[in-house]
Structure 1
């Protein structure tokens, strides 16, 4: 509905229109204006020309400050009555408009959420907690706006949060502005703590736990160690703990690592750790700076590709270790344990993390368990539940068969070991007292066996069993597909494991 108010123009007086005679230059007559258009409010009649003329004369008299007696002479009695009626009619229409505007304003105030002092205090505390929470005790350089802080805490869309009753305009489908206002009000209620939801601590704990599960245990430990080193570096050189971290800090860290003698590949691994940390904090990835990428690329090109000089464990070495196990182990049980573990690692092309536990406190649950094997007189079936390249635990199955050489037969070695061990649940390879065989123990005793064989000056490691499996398979004529299936490789990486090897 359109409302119009009476337009009243002050008309120029006819007095001295042409200028005063003999009293200075004549004044220019004002241009004629078109008569004003009169509009009637809805539900009333237009004012008559006579009443309007008298009304204007009376208004001019009031503006000139004429006394009441003079004002009364400006219009006739009938004219005054018409003027009063017109004024009352116009005032009544204007009052109706004012009442309608006041009703709309009152309805809007009624819909506005009332935030209690307690809710406002909770809102302020929650915002301060989000803004002030910084890793490593740092200082926030760019504080997070209040609305952004709440969005980080509860990533729920506005349509999911909205719980108020739609307004009339929303129901009729013509209120995009009303819907925006409705969402804003609900957002303020959520920020004030009136809308129920998980606490900030619960969100952060769940987020950290989920991101931690995305990493392999060894990678997680390496990442934590790198972040600690980077923090100590910034504190030592008084770079401050600005967040987000400037690329210049990362560049200086890279140069320091290079000067300490670290290889480009190792530095790249530390950059991966920092990149994960930056992204986990919601910061820009400073390691992706053009200067850092080209610096590492150029230095790697200067150094050349590092040579992997680890030696393979060959079948001949395995047969030799069988003879020295009794001399380096404390009991026949331990000799059977290490013989079965070494043959399983070789013929299964296993990583040591898939074979035994990393430590007594290892919670990764990747090592072989008693429930992961199915032993028959002619076959050993092994289930690899999770591995370095299988973080989602899709799993794989290995089948080892009888070997014509009894000294190298994994079935016979496992049968002998199980006869000592029994069928206790838990890790597959355990000591006589029930403690699990760890990575450190496995390689320490294996190194003693190699020394007993007189093998010196060669570089061996826990990966030598996996290298030996690929090398032996290539030596007896296995094609690429079979070698990749043996070690569960999905790319041509297996080629880096193939080395010259003497079978016996």
Structure 2
């Protein structure tokens, strides 16, 4: 393979061993690219990101590529790491970098973690150790929710794979983006998914200071046409209303393993409904990710009310937090104060997370959804017609049915716009 045969915008390399020009000096760009061209196929275990970093004029200037015209590199070098788990927590390659011929480059290996879970501490230390631009890049990554960062990273990866899939696509220009969108359309991707993917590609491009190819008149109008020809199906998830909630809580002892578990899920279901809470605001994303779950210090119980603080939400990524109060209601079978006070009396100490099992492990989103589905199935209902959002939908629907004002409904679900209307589904 010749250097001229390599994609001009991105060079994906597997396991390469580079020889430095001299101790304490940088790396010769031509040598890097030449050795990359001879690299073997990429192992499937993962990626360790290596970054091309500008070095000032005058550094390693004695080593020039034999090609008189020089080599313009747009390279992100990728080598192997130990496991797929490390790859999933690592960030994307730093991407398409244009290196002026007048400047040499130094190669600096670093793992670029995403803003989630165990990677958080490593991300913070890496941000502190790097230069100003690298540090700000880490801060920009932290501006996103972990799920959003994961989706953006996946979108950029798909764009990279497209560019590497053929020599006619390696230019990475606006025509390439148009071909990429058309391919997604032919695959049957929804307009909503395409819009989200373009948002991810746009963010990553700006993060890496490369041209954003997603903003054009043709792309904008194509998305509108896409939406008109293939409208997004209406959300048909059914609400969980007070009557159904009561039946679910009554059935929990038959679904769960013991009395404690039944009380735990009764408290979770009751709070999800009466507080119109997203499941991500209530329980842990996983056993190791509890950064947004409800804490014990944020549940304040009194004789006739319960105060709850949502510390982070989909619309509050900065973690400002929001307090709300639930009062006693006449229906004791679903009264949030009664149910939560009882669970609090049997809840074990030793964890800051409030909704925990007897062994102090946190109640997770997966467990919440699984028990919810099992309970609905036990009642003879089709659990596929419901989702964890059904508690939130049911809260808005019940509030509207009781004659609550628009302001009250918006306050209940922390909605700041007219989107609350889509949650009111009396006929579903």
Per-residue Cα deviation, 1:16-52 (whole angstroms, up to 9, x for no partner): xxxxxxxxxxxxxxxxxxxxxxxxxxxxxxxxxxxxx
In the other structure, the counterpart of 1:500 is: 426
Worse-superposed segment, 420-429 or 468-477: 420-429
Deviation at 1:391, TM superposition (A): 1.7
Aligned-partner SS, 1:232: helix
Tell me how many residue pairs correspond in the alignment.
Answer: 333
In the other structure, the counterpart of 2:144 is: 215
Cα distance in 2 for partners of 1:210, 1:120 equals 27
Deviation at 1:249, TM superposition (A): 2.1
Aligned-partner SS, 2:131: helix
Name the structure with the higher helix share: 1
Per-residue Cα deviation, 1:181-235 (whole angstroms, up to 9, x for no partner): xxxxxxxxxxxxxxxxx99943354123201111011101111111122222222
Per-residue Cα deviation, 1:367-388 (whole angstroms, up to 9, x for no partner): 1111111111211101112211
Deviation at 1:393, TM superposition (A): 2.1
Cα distance in 2 for partners of 1:357, 1:146 equals 51
1:89-168 superposed matches below 5 A: 123=56, 124-125=58-59, 134-135=75-76, 142-144=98-100
In the other structure, the counterpart of 2:218 is: 291
Q: 1:486 aligns with which of 405, 408, 412?
A: 412
Deviation at 1:417, TM superposition (A): 1.1
In the other structure, the counterpart of 2:400 is: 474
Per-residue Cα deviation, 1:333-353 (whole angstroms, up to 9, x for no partner): 110000000000110011111
- Conserved in 2, the CA contact under 8 Å of 1:226 and 1:270? yes
Deviation at 1:132, TM superposition (A): 6.0
Aligned-partner SS, 1:377: coil
Larger Rg: 1
Taking a change above 3 Å as real, the CA distance of residues 215 and 140 of structure 1, as seen in their structure-2 partners, is: closer
If the length of structure 2 is used for normalisation, what is the TM-score? 0.71
Q: 1:368 aligns with which of 294, 302, 305?
A: 294
1:49-448 superposed matches below 5 A: 123=56, 124-125=58-59, 134-135=75-76, 142-144=98-100, 201-239=130-168, 241-242=170-171, 245-362=172-289, 365-448=291-374
Name the structure with the higher strand share: 2
Per-residue Cα deviation, 1:127-161 (whole angstroms, up to 9, x for no partner): 99xx96844669968434769x9xxxxxxxxxxxx
Cα distance in 2 for partners of 1:350, 1:329 equals 22
Aligned-partner SS, 2:330: coil
Structure 1 unaligned runs (5+)? Answer: 1-117, 150-197
Worse-superposed segment, 484-493 or 284-293: 284-293
Taking a change above 3 Å as real, the CA distance of residues 447 and 371 of structure 1, as seen in their structure-2 partners, is: same
Per-residue Cα deviation, 1:32-82 (whole angstroms, up to 9, x for no partner): xxxxxxxxxxxxxxxxxxxxxxxxxxxxxxxxxxxxxxxxxxxxxxxxxxx
Worse-superposed segment, 414-423 or 213-222: 414-423
Taking a change above 3 Å as real, the CA distance of residues 352 and 145 of structure 1, as seen in their structure-2 partners, is: farther
Taking a change above 3 Å as real, the CA distance of residues 426 and 491 of structure 1, as seen in their structure-2 partners, is: same
Taking a change above 3 Å as real, the CA distance of residues 397 and 501 of structure 1, as seen in their structure-2 partners, is: farther
Aligned-partner SS, 2:266: helix
Deviation at 1:292, TM superposition (A): 1.2
Taking a change above 3 Å as real, the CA distance of residues 249 and 362 of structure 1, as seen in their structure-2 partners, is: farther
Worse-superposed segment, 340-349 or 248-257: 248-257
- Conserved in 2, the CA contact under 8 Å of 1:312 and 1:501? no
Deviation at 1:397, TM superposition (A): 0.8
Taking a change above 3 Å as real, the CA distance of residues 457 and 212 of structure 1, as seen in their structure-2 partners, is: closer
Deviation at 1:439, TM superposition (A): 0.6
- Conserved in 2, the CA contact under 8 Å of 1:380 and 1:400? yes
If the length of structure 1 is used for normalisation, what is the TM-score? 0.61
Deviation at 1:327, TM superposition (A): 1.2
Cα distance in 2 for partners of 1:501, 1:494 equals 16
In the other structure, the counterpart of 2:87 is: none
Cα distance in 2 for partners of 1:398, 1:384 equals 8
RMSD across aligned positions (CA)? 3.1
In the other structure, the counterpart of 2:83 is: none
Cα distance in 1 for partners of 2:128, 2:415 equals 44
Aligned-partner SS, 1:382: strand
